Amino acid sequence: MSGLKNTLAPFQQWINDKEQWEDLAGYMRQESNLPGPRANLGLAESFAQLYSHSAVTEIAWDLLLVWANIAEADAGTNEPREFLPFNAVCAAGAYYGYAEEERRCVIQAMIQSAMNDSRWRMREAAAMSMQNIGEFDFSLLRQLLDTWRVDANMLEQRAFVAALAHPPLLKIQENTVYCLNLAAGIMEELLLSTGVPSDREHFRVLSKGLEYSLSVFVASEPEAGFAMLRRFAESGDARISKIVKSNLGKTRLSKKYDQQVADLLLLMGLTRG
């Protein structure tokens, strides 16, 4: 199998032949880089490319459904088998722009499930899947987010900002402004809440996502971005201040926008470091 690495032709055969699915699964597990800190994202991208067209067969579609439904009990965190549902969710996003409405609805449910998965890598798959949608057509991703954000929980909100903190999506100013507004809305919700929510783990996950993603948006649209950070820097809320400080410490802001960063830190009564 090692001779097939990074070769798409055998993959195309495997996904369209149920009798070869196990060979494909074995190869993906073998080349997953799991257990380990970083899965084989190059292989995941190559696999997703197999679904970046409109002619996905029923058999290839069924493979995504089978893999996406592999539960944690059968594919725990950092196990090689976890790479299978991870790839299925990422590939579903690559296919979304080409899919008919019925399959799009299934993909939406697939992504939402992954956003709420207890496995962190599956939550990353949800974000990457949305990035694939956004790279195909940002308006499609925006439609999804505008629908989901109304009743989104903290894990879903984290997935939104993680997906949007993706430089290829921020090349157009209108997209970046949308990202800033969505992130600001999430920050406002946190500010209006009292103390740490009862689900501390979900709050931690959301906070971690916000602690880096805001800086990506600000770096792409600094005038509006720093105005947003200033608004939250003035809040006096310890939870919000921690998020703002973390973003100000990111190199993408601290090196290029030294004075703006220093001003906001001073406003919060903080120093560098």
Could you read off the pLDDT tens digit of each residue along the chain, which spans 273 residues?
333 444 555 888 999 999 999 999 999 999 999 999 999 999 999 999 999 999 999 999 999 999 999 999 999 999 999 999 999 999 999 999 999 999 999 999 999 999 999 999 999 999 999 999 999 999 999 999 999 999 999 999 999 999 999 999 999 999 999 999 999 999 999 998 866 566 889 999 999 999 999 999 999 999 999 999 999 999 989 999 999 999 999 999 999 999 999 999 999 988 765
- Tell me the whole-structure pTM to 2 decimals: 0.93
Supply angle C-alpha 125, 126, 131, rounded to 5: 95
Residue 187's pLDDT is 97
Supply angle C-alpha 160, 182, 184, rounded to 5: 120
- DSSP type of residue 199: -
Tell me if residue 28 falls in helix, strand or coil. helix
- The CA radius of gyration of the chain, in Å to the nearest whole number, is 20
> What pLDDT, in 10s, does the model give residues 143-166?
999 999 999 999 999 999 999 999
The domains located in the chain, with CATH, are: 1-136 (1.25.40), 168-273 (no CATH)
Nearest C-alpha neighbor of 189 from the set 127, 248, 232: 232
Tell me if residue 268 falls in helix, strand or coil. coil
Q: Which helix (H) or strand (E) holds 18?
A: none
